Amino acid sequence: MTLQSAQQLAAPYSSESKGLLVHLDHVDKIYPNGTVAVQNANLRAGEGEFLCFVGPSGCGKSTIFNMITGLTSHTAGELAVLGTTPREARKQNEIAFVFQEHTLLPWANLLENVTLPLKLRGVPQSVRKEEGERVLELVGLKEHMKVLPRQLSGGMKMRVSIARALISRPKLLLMDEPFGALDEITRQTLQDELLSIWQREKKMTVLFITHNVFEAVFLSTKVVVMTPRPGKIAQMIDIPVPFPRGEDFRTTPEFSDYVRAVSGALNH
Amino acid sequence: MNKSYAGNVTDHAYSEARPAQPKKMVNKSVPGKGKQLASQIIPPLVVLLLFVGGWEFIGRLIGIAPYLLPKPSDIFLAARDNIGNLMVSVGTTVMEAVIGFAVSVVLGISLAILLALSKMVERSVYPYAIILQTIPIVAIAPIIVIWFGAGLNAIVIISFLISFFPILSNTLIGLNSTEQNMKNLFYLYNATKFQTIMKLRIPAALPYIVAGLKISCSLSVVGAIVGEYIAGIGGGKGGLGYAITIAASRLQTPYLFACGLSAAILGVLFFLLVNQASKWLLSSWHESAMNHSN
Ligand SMILES: Nc1ncnc2c1ncn2[C@@H]1O[C@H](COP(=O)(O)OP(=O)(O)OP(=O)(O)O)[C@@H](O)[C@H]1O
Ligand SMILES: [Mg+2]
């Protein structure tokens, strides 16, 4: 294994990671205080995949995301995003983020909020408005574009947050427990909406963190099961069920089987 | 599939949107406003009338000499007889306080932004700002008079020195209290440091900045009066502080009271003005400005 990482170091971005949006190869993350947050993580996310990360609190899910976005750096192994370093990848404006909190600017209306990424890039006003209306339409909030975030419910705020992520037509969308704070009904509605947006975009790759096994199985093409202390990827479980997945998928025996498989992997 | 999906979303959005807040808030505040205002103003007004009436009554009953303790009527007469001088003094003090306050706002906010831009600069400069703040103004004032001469310059500088620090420290706390999540968001979308300051940290610090302004505006009036007390005539005419020293030395106690009251009223009016301005500044987003009348 040491030999392999040495080879990887010699050729940092092998042709192998070219077609992949995210490629982790024997990645470790040890925080300065000694916490081993992630150990020996191997992961490949190709175009159009929907990966859900499940695992108990503290198993390193957010840490993996933070390494992919370049908020923190990995301490061993190889990590390529869009075929390059996280830092370079981010500059291509092909990556978008949704956090657990909606992170909307309270003083800016919905249109200004969703167009923030474009504004930071210096995109002209007319284009911003057009794109802003497009994504607000996608999440069903176009009529509310002049409204301030505090006038919205939690579910609507999360929709705005998703709209903001979609504005630059990202190739890679990272979502860290986006629906964690929502009630079950709103959560399911948003899951349906997210899936149909993802299907429309066709080529968009989504990485999605959740604590909820049902959510993971319902949404993903593949579930990444993680276990804590030290944070490890325990198992990958493919969910080869075709899309669109309607509400009825949640009640099929197939669905229960997958849920059982993921839960089993979690408890190992 | 797509069609029914789109319909679904809009329906859902509508049903969620209906209980949205703004309409409710407008409805509530319109009929309630007059009543609320009355209930806020009447009780202190009653106390004031009782106090002034009692003071006048006891003063007349006991017959204390006006130069020891003037009755409200003495103060009123003194103010009326010297209304010209009083107005000139008030005007002078207003001008000094406003200039001192304006300089505090500009320098306080700019320095806070500079400090917030670099942790290094903050760590090396801010302790001295705190030390400067703890030196009593009466110790610094004479030096300022020596350096800048008695008069307007010295008075404005003293007013500035007193009102500067609350703006600086409040703005700095505000700029440093931006949520980590929001900072990450800007970082991930490749915002420059300048964009993060202008579009995130300053707007997020606005409630703190405004709190600093409210403290400082009253202090700037105090500073102007203290300055006049020490540095004398500002702009060729004496302000309230100067008038107070003169009245005291001549035992014109009723006029001294009139000047003191004018200074108090001035401070309150200045505060109310700044308070109104801050409400307007914050009304677009900060909730405390809308819910409490603070
Ligand atoms: N900046 C940091 N410095 C030191 N340790 C950290 C830091 N961030 C996270 N950790 C530790 O690393 C481990 C993994 O944290 P991480 O946030 O990735 O977990 P998570 O799977 O996202 O958990 P949750 O589901 O609660 O969000 C935890 O033990 C955590 O305490
Ligand atoms: Mg996390």
pLDDT digits 0-9 by tens, B95-113: 999 999 999 999 999 999 9
Q: Nearest Cα to B223, choosing from B163, B294, B146?
A: B163
Q: Which residues does A197 contact at the CB level (< 8 Å), separation at least 6?
A: A138, A139, A162, A166
Average pLDDT, chain B: 81
Cα angle: A177, vertex A179, A184; to 5 degrees: 135
pLDDT for the residue A249? 86
- Which residue segments constitute the domains of chain A, with CATH numbers given? 3-94+170-266 (3.40.50.300), 104-169 (no CATH)
Q: What is the pLDDT of residues A207-260, one digit of tens each?
A: 999 998 999 999 999 999 998 888 888 889 888 888 788 888 888 888 888 899
3-state class (DSSP) for residue B173 = helix
Query: CB-based contact (8 Å) between A200 and chain B?
Result: yes
Q: Which residues of chain A does B185 touch, with a Cβ-Cβ cutoff of 8 Å?
A: 97, 99, 103
Convert A149-186 to b/e letters by CB count within 10 Å (16 or more is b). bbbbbebbbbbbbbbbbbbbebbbbbbbbbbbebeeeb
Q: Is residue A47's pLDDT more than 80?
A: yes
Residue A131: both structure tokens together: 């794109």
> Hey, where are the domains in chain B?
83-287
Q: Which residues of chain A does B20 touch, with a Cβ-Cβ cutoff of 8 Å?
A: 147, 151-152
Average pLDDT, chain A: 85
Spatial separation of the C-alpha atoms in residues B140 and B241, rounded to whole Å: 17
Name A80's bridge partners: A23
Spatial separation of the C-alpha atoms in residues A180 and A208, rounded to whole Å: 11
Confidence of residue B285 (pLDDT cuts 50, 70, 90): low
3-state class (DSSP) for residue A234 = strand
Which amino acid does the sequence have at B216?
Answer: S
Q: What's the ipTM?
A: 0.85
Q: What is the pLDDT of residues B126-138, one digit of tens each?
A: 888 888 888 888 8
- H/E run at residue A39: strand A36-46
Which amino acid does the sequence have at B259?
Answer: C
In degrees to the nearest 10, what's the CA dihedral of B9, B15, B17, B18? 160
DSSP string, A185-210: HHHHHHHHHHHHHHHHHSS-EEEEEE
pLDDT for the residue A224? 92
Residue B187 CA, ligand 2 centroid: distance in Å: 18
Phi, psi at B47, each rounded to 5°? -60, -45
Name A44's bridge partners: A23
Residue window 34-53, chain A: list those with CB within 8 Å of chain B.
none
Q: Say yes or no for a CB contact (<8 Å) between B189 and A150.
A: no
Instruction: For domain B83-287, give the CATH number.
Output: 1.10.3720.10
Q: Which of the pair, B167 or A7, is modelled with greater confidence?
A: B167
Q: Is residue B11's pLDDT more than 60?
A: no
- H/E run at residue A20: strand A20-30
Q: Which residues does A116 contact at the CB level (< 8 Å), separation at least 6?
A: A105, A108, A164, B189, B199
Confidence of residue B289 (pLDDT cuts 50, 70, 90): very low
User: Given ligand 1 and candidates A27, A52, A63, A232, which is best to mutate, with the most ligand atoms within 8 Å of its CB?
Assistant: A63
Q: Is residue A5's pLDDT more than 70?
A: no
Q: Is residue A4's pLDDT more than 80?
A: no
Out of A103, A107, A192, name the one closest to residue B185 (CB). A103
Out of A116, A117, A155, name the one closest to residue B16 (CB). A155
- H-only helix segments in A110-207: 110-114, 116-120, 125-138, 154-166, 184-201
Q: Is residue B216's pLDDT more than 90?
A: yes
pLDDT for the residue B25? 42
- In Å, how far are A30, A64, A67, A230 from A35, measured between CA atoms? 6, 14, 15, 8
